[in-house]
């Protein structure tokens, strides 16, 4: 049976599970600064929400103080109903699950773009970053080669912070008009599809 108070807010299984069981991952992301903190929160929630013994203890403690034990997003496990055909129940310490597994969630999180979960930290869990680079055709369509002699004196390349001289070859991004030394931006495109200045994706028109 499903949870009696389970809320289908998004009508998307994963999002609704996060809403009901791991609400901070949707609504309080600012409290997490690295992946270990995310996983610690997930373990706490699973231990609290899906362990009947711990849940009962927390519920009793909250009621003794006249308080609800959890926030408004919390949905307690549904009570078991007896059936004459029901097999012997598992020990109380065995957590009932609603198709939620820590390792499944972890695999989902680590498959998301790296910069979502690093929070500024450099590769905190040792994962190799996925390199996405634009094709030569995309670069040709999204940029144009211009001579440094056509630019105002003192124009800087935002990548190397050196001036683009009249004798230099530069590359301009058509969508945002940002300029860089050709060699600098070409090296940049070996590891990124984004403009270094405004983060525009050069694959987009």
pLDDT band at 149 (very low <50, low <70, confident <90, very high): very high
| 18 found inside a domain | yes
Q: Is the pLDDT of residue 64 over 60?
A: no
| 69 found inside a domain | no
Predicted local distance difference test score (pLDDT) of residue 148: 92
| 181 found inside a domain | yes
Average pLDDT on 159-184 reads 93
Whether pTM > 0.75 for this model: the answer is: no
Predicted local distance difference test score (pLDDT) of residue 55: 55
Predicted local distance difference test score (pLDDT) of residue 165: 94
Name which residue leads in pLDDT, 104 or 37.
Answer: 37
Predicted local distance difference test score (pLDDT) of residue 175: 93
Q: Distance between CA atoms of 144 and 26, rounded to whole angstroms? A: 41
Q: Distance between CA atoms of 179 and 156, rounded to whole angstroms? A: 8
Name which residue leads in pLDDT, 120 or 3.
Answer: 3
| 198 found inside a domain | no
Q: Is the pLDDT of residue 58 over 90?
A: no
Predicted local distance difference test score (pLDDT) of residue 187: 92
| 116 found inside a domain | no
| 5 found inside a domain | no
- Average pLDDT over the chain, rounded to an integer: 72
Q: Distance between CA atoms of 94 and 115, rounded to whole angstroms? A: 36
Predicted local distance difference test score (pLDDT) of residue 132: 83
Q: How many domains does the chain have?
A: 2
Contact of 12 with 108, CB cutoff 8 Å: no
| 183 found inside a domain | yes
Average pLDDT on 81-98 reads 46
Q: Element (H or E) spanning 38, and its range?
A: helix 35-49
| 78 found inside a domain | no
- Domain of 140: which CATH number? 3.30.40.10
What is the span of the domain harbouring residue 35?
13-57
Predicted local distance difference test score (pLDDT) of residue 78: 44
**Closest by CA position to 51, among listed 11, 85, 96, 20:** 96
């Amino acid at each position: 049976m499903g949870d009696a108070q389970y809320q289908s807010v998004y009508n998307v299984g994963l999002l609704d599970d996060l809403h009901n069981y791991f609400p901070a991952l949707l609504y309080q992301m600012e409290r997490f600064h690295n992946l270990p903190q995310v996983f610690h929160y997930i373990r706490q929630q699973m231990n609290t929400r899906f362990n009947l013994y711990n849940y009962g203890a927390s519920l009793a403690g909250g009621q003794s103080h006249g308080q609800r034990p959890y926030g408004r997003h919390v949905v307690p496990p549904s009570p078991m109903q007896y059936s004459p055909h029901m097999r012997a129940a598992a020990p109380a310490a065995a957590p009932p699950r609603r198709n939620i597994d820590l390792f499944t969630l972890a695999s989902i999180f680590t498959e998301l773009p790296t910069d979502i979960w690093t929070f500024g930290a450099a590769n905190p869990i040792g994962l190799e970053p996925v390199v996405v680079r634009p094709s030569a055709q995309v670069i040709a369509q999204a940029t144009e080669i211009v001579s440094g002699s056509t630019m105002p004196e003192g124009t800087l390349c935002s990548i190397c912070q050196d001036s683009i001289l009249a004798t230099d070859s530069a590359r301009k991004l058509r969508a945002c008009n940002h300029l860089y030394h050709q060699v600098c931006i070409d090296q940049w495109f070996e590891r990124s599809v984004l403009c270094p200045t405004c983060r525009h994706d050069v694959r987009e028109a």
